[in-house]
Amino acid sequence: MKKMAKLSLGAVPMLISLELGLSLLAGYFLAKFFSGSSVKQPGRFGSLVFDVSGYRVHLHHWLVSGAILALAFTFNVFVFGPSLFYGFLGGVMAQGIVSYEDWRQVIWRER
């Protein structure tokens, strides 16, 4: 099932727009390149993890990308063509969600 989800990641958007599908795949593979291969494996950049009042907050790359995407949609702002920009950010989000089991763990209590 997981493999099928990854395959449809680029194929389905390409039915709508080739630009959207290709930029989504580019975002996915670029995020895969810079991210760790597993949950415990660090990526090429350090994770955004903060200590806040006895809690740990992990700003996953999918979450940061999603926030940028939401702001870009809201204010109709994009760095380059909208299909390319939104597709790229969507690919980064998708990679973070389908590649890691801990993608939902954003806030937890420190021990």
62 or 39, which is more confident? 62
On whether residue 41 sits in a domain, the answer given is no
For residue 47, pLDDT over 90 is answered with no
Written as one letter, the residue type at 63 is L
Q: How open is the CA angle 67-68-72, to the nearest 5 degrees?
A: 120
On whether residue 25 sits in a domain, the answer given is yes
On whether residue 21 sits in a domain, the answer given is yes
Provide the angle, in degrees to the nearest 10, between the axes of the packed helices 82-99 and 61-75: 150
Tokens for 46, please give them. Answer: 């350090």
For residue 109, pLDDT over 80 is answered with yes
- Segment 66-93 mean pLDDT: 91
On whether residue 61 sits in a domain, the answer given is yes
For residue 1, pLDDT over 60 is answered with no
Tokens for 109, please give them. Answer: 């209590």
Nearest to 60 by CA among 51, 70, 47: 47
Q: pLDDT digits over 4-30, tens only?
A: 666 666 677 777 788 988 999 999 999
Range in 13-17, 71-75, 94-98 with the lowest mean pLDDT: 13-17
On whether residue 101 sits in a domain, the answer given is yes
- Segment 57-70 mean pLDDT: 92
Containing structural domain, residue 80? 2-35+46-109
On whether residue 67 sits in a domain, the answer given is yes
pTM here is 0.81
On whether residue 40 sits in a domain, the answer given is no
Number of domains present in the structure of the chain: 1
For residue 93, pLDDT over 70 is answered with yes
On whether residue 29 sits in a domain, the answer given is yes
